[in-house]
């Protein structure tokens, strides 16, 4: 900007976007809305210096809480530098509405990632407290930029799509059905180069993947739509994150068609990936994602593939039978992870107010309903336990005590695993690595966006090659985890994801052990989310139902 523009830019009602009324319906620029600089400079210590020509001559304006402190010439190469310090220093009431430091840093990083994903030609550097977080050089192509931001391991599962209809054109990358996430954190939509939250494109993605991926699983998506500027209203939201499309139905069909054709064209590679990683990702009900696709491969593929797969299945079946023979009736269920099973002297343990009668030891008095609820017959009636909520409470209390003691109990991995994270996941790791260490995870930076996993909490059964850890990162990024502190949120997510699931079959020994451990914690009545774990049905209640009393 020249000297005149520098002085005008931070004033109220200033804008460089509108020169005529028609510009309101044909917005082609990005960045702030007109009064953003004025709003920011009013609640901060603000410094702006810019030059519209080479030679080192520029102009500066310094503002502190609406008061202009300085304006005049300043050395600066062509371009603009804005510096903002002590945000809300003069409005402490607004400062209180800021979220936690991790949440605010995450929002900043999400904004930068939005620019980085769509602008592969830009060089971007981002640091926090003088520590580099993001260093991106101009990429040779869009795929290379996405790999730098999302991770090369993620891009291995992404296929490129593209379709156009008249003036509308969509292009981008979608993940194969065998590579999904537990939330929509890695779904990005752009319209005319602008990052948006657009329901039409989101619904088109959901429709295209319906029946292909499990319920509550979400593909990784980066889609860019080019549309006539006059057909896109970007003035419906202050930050222009939400837009309104004049031809939403046309956009829906175009996006849906592009995804469907992309999946169809890559069906062969999809089946191959499913077979290679046949253990898949577990859904919330413990079902492997890749199972259906593997079956399709057996029926449609050649004889060699079918023969190899049958041999593979036979080997697994034999190994499992040998293992079960060796294990016998050994109790391999560890709700408390690395801790001992606990004493049978239940009367001396806290939390047993819920049972006036001692639980009988007869196996016939324990049974499982719908593979989700444990029924226990006691002398005065029946106790019903929600197995997932109960196990979640046990793990939460055990892990919290372990974290407070700062004596991590880890199970070392014979061959350390490398996990390539997205930039947002890497930020969670950096800000929380000490807490993960206290929980029992042994994690180390491994260059770039990768981390090395050398160990995880002892006794953990569903590690799933790092999927559990990624799930915790997802929960923290989503921000809806129960807990008053950041440490409690990590523990709550870990407890939820490592606990037995609803729909998982348990043996009588496993049911007994879970009941023992639940009644040994301080608060056995609810899980960390507040859902009840126990319901007691007395004999009197039952007799009253049947009009015996």
Do 380 and 478 belong to one domain?
Answer: yes
| Residue 505 structural domain | 346-537
Last residue of a domain, one of 265, 298, 328: 265
Taking residue 67's Cβ as centre, other Cβ atoms within 10 Å add up to 10
* CA 387 to each of CA 313, 382, 503, 508, 518: distance values in angstroms, whole numbers, following the listed order: 31, 15, 9, 13, 10
Q: What is the DSSP letter of 282?
A: B
Closest residue by Cα to residue 222 from 269, 165, 157: 157
Is 53 contained in some domain?
yes
Rounded Cα distance between 144 and 188, Å, is 16
Do 511 and 424 belong to one domain?
Answer: yes
Domain count, the chain: 3
Is 549 contained in some domain?
no
Coil/strand/helix, residue 57 = strand
Beta-strand runs (E) in 200-306: 218-219, 221-226, 232-233, 244-245
b/e sequence 120-136, b meaning 16+ C-beta within 10 Å: beeebebeeeeeebbeb
Is 112 contained in some domain?
no
Do 70 and 159 belong to one domain?
Answer: no
The pTM of this model reads 0.60
Is 545 contained in some domain?
no
Is 281 contained in some domain?
no
Do 355 and 498 belong to one domain?
Answer: yes
Question: By the 8 A CB rule, do 392 and 527 touch?
Answer: yes
| CA dihedral of 466, 150, 431, 93, whole degrees rounded to 10 | -130
List CB contacts of 504: < 8 A, sequence separation 6 or more: 286, 371, 387
Can you give the pLDDT of all 549 residues of the chain as single tens digits? 999 999 998 988 877 667 777 777 777 777 555 578 898 999 999 999 999 987 788 999 999 988 989 999 999 999 999 999 999 999 988 888 888 888 888 888 888 999 999 999 999 999 888 888 888 999 999 999 999 999 888 898 899 999 999 999 999 999 988 788 888 889 999 999 989 988 899 999 999 988 778 777 899 999 999 999 888 887 777 667 788 888 889 999 999 999 989 887 765 443 333 323 333 333 333 333 332 222 222 233 344 444 444 554 454 445 444 433 443 333 344 445 432 333 333 333 433 444 444 455 555 588 899 989 999 888 788 889 999 999 999 999 889 888 888 777 888 888 888 888 888 888 889 888 899 999 999 999 988 788 999 988 887 877 777 888 988 998 888 877 777 788 889 999 999 998 998 888 998 888 888 988 888 887 788 888 878 888 888 888 888 889 887
Do 380 and 497 belong to one domain?
Answer: yes
Rounded Cα distance between 528 and 491, Å, is 9
Do 395 and 465 belong to one domain?
Answer: yes
Do 522 and 466 belong to one domain?
Answer: yes
Rounded to 5 degrees, what are φ and ψ at 469?
A: -65, -40
Last residue of a domain, one of 231, 265, 299: 265
Do 174 and 87 belong to one domain?
Answer: no
* CA 484 to each of CA 23, 479, 487: distance values in angstroms, whole numbers, following the listed order: 47, 12, 8
Taking residue 518's Cβ as centre, other Cβ atoms within 10 Å add up to 25
Rounded Cα distance between 276 and 166, Å, is 40
End-to-end CA distance of the chain: 87
Task: Supply the CATH number for residue 75's domain.
Answer: 3.30.565.10
Closest residue by Cα to residue 88 from 42, 129, 35: 42
Rounded to 5 degrees, what are φ and ψ at 468?
A: -65, -45
Last residue of a domain, one of 226, 247, 265: 265
Token pair, residue 433, equals 């690595």
Q: What is the pLDDT of residue 17?
A: 67
Beta-strand runs (E) in 348-494: 366-369, 373-378, 381-386, 410-420, 442-445, 450-457
Is 287 contained in some domain?
no
Task: Supply the CATH number for residue 158's domain.
Answer: 3.30.230.10
Got the DSSP string for 85-151?
A: ESTTTT-HHHHTT---HHHHHHHHHHHHHHHHHH-TT--EEEEETTEEEEEEPPPSSHHHHHHHHH-
Is 220 contained in some domain?
yes
Do 149 and 209 belong to one domain?
Answer: yes
Task: Supply the CATH number for residue 522's domain.
Answer: 3.30.1370.100
Is 159 contained in some domain?
yes
Q: What is the pLDDT of residue 204?
A: 94
Rounded Cα distance between 483 and 392, Å, is 14
Q: What is the pLDDT of residue 132?
A: 85
Question: By the 8 A CB rule, do 473 and 425 touch?
Answer: yes
Do 54 and 169 belong to one domain?
Answer: no
Do 172 and 61 belong to one domain?
Answer: no
Coil/strand/helix, residue 453 = strand
Do 425 and 498 belong to one domain?
Answer: yes
């Amino acid at each position: 900007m020249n000297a005149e523009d520098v002085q005008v830019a931070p004033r109220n009602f200033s804008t460089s976007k509108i020169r005529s009324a028609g510009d309101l319906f044909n917005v082609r620029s990005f960045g702030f809305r007109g009064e953003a600089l004025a709003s920011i400079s009013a609640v901060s210590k603000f410094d702006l210096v810019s030059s519209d020509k080479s030679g080192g001559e520029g102009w500066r304006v310094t503002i502190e809480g609406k008061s202009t402190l300085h304006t005049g010439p300043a050395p600066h190469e062509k371009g603009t530098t804005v510096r903002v310090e002590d945000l809300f220093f003069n409005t402490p009431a607004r400062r209180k509405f800021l979220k936690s430091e991790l949440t605010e840093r995450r929002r900043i990083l999400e904004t930068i990632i939005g620019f980085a994903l769509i602008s592969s030609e830009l060089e971007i550097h981002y640091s926090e407290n003088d520590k580099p977080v993001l260093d991106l050089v101009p990429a040779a192509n869009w795929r290379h930029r996405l790999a730098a931001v999302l991770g090369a391991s993620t891009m291995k599962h992404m296929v490129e799509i593209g379709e156009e209809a008249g003036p509308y054109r969509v292009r981008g990358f979608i993940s194969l059905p065998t590579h999904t996430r537990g939330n929509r954190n890695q779904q990005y939509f752009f319209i005319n180069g602008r990052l948006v939250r657009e329901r039409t494109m989101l619904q088109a993605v959901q429709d295209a993947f319906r029946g292909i991926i499990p319920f509550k699983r979400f593909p990784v998506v980066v889609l860019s739509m080019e549309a006539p500027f006059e057909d896109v209203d970007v003035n419906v939201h202050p930050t222009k994150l939400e837009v309104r499309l004049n031809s939403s139905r046309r956009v829906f069909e175009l996006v849906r068609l592009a995804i469907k054709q992309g999946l169809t064209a890559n069906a062969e590679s999809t089946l191959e990936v499913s077979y290679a990683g046949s253990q898949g990702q577990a859904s919330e009900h413990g079902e492997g994602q890749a199972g259906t696709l593997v079956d399709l491969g057996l029926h449609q593929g050649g004889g060699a593939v079918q023969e190899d797969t049958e041999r593979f299945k036979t080997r697994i079946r034999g190994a499992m039978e040998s293992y079960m023979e060796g294990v016998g009736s050994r109790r391999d269920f560890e709700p408390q992870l690395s801790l001992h099973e606990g004493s049978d002297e239940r009367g001396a343990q806290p939390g047993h107010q819920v049972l006036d009668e001692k639980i009988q030891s007869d196996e016939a008095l324990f049974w499982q309903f719908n593979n989700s609820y444990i029924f226990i017959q006691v002398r005065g009636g029946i106790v019903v336990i929600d197995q997932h909520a109960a196990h979640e409470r046990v793990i939460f209390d055990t892990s919290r005590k372990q974290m407070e003691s700062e004596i991590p109990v880890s199970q070392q991995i014979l061959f350390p695993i490398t996990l390539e994270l997205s930039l947002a996941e890497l930020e969670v790791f950096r800000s929380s690595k000490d807490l993960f260490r206290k929980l029992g995870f042994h994690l180390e930076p491994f260059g770039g966006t990768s981390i090395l996993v050398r160990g995880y909490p002892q006794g953990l059964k569903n590690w799933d090659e790092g999927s559990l850890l990624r799930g915790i990162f997802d929960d923290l990024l989503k921000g809806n985890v129960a807990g008053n502190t950041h440490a409690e949120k990590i523990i709550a997510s870990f407890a939820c994801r490592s606990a037995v699931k609803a729909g998982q079959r348990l043996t009588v020994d496993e049911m007994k052990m879970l009941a023992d451990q639940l009644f040994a914690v301080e608060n056995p009545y609810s899980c960390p989310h507040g859902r009840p774990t126990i319901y007691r049905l007395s004999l009197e209640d039952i007799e009253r139902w049947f009009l015996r009393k």
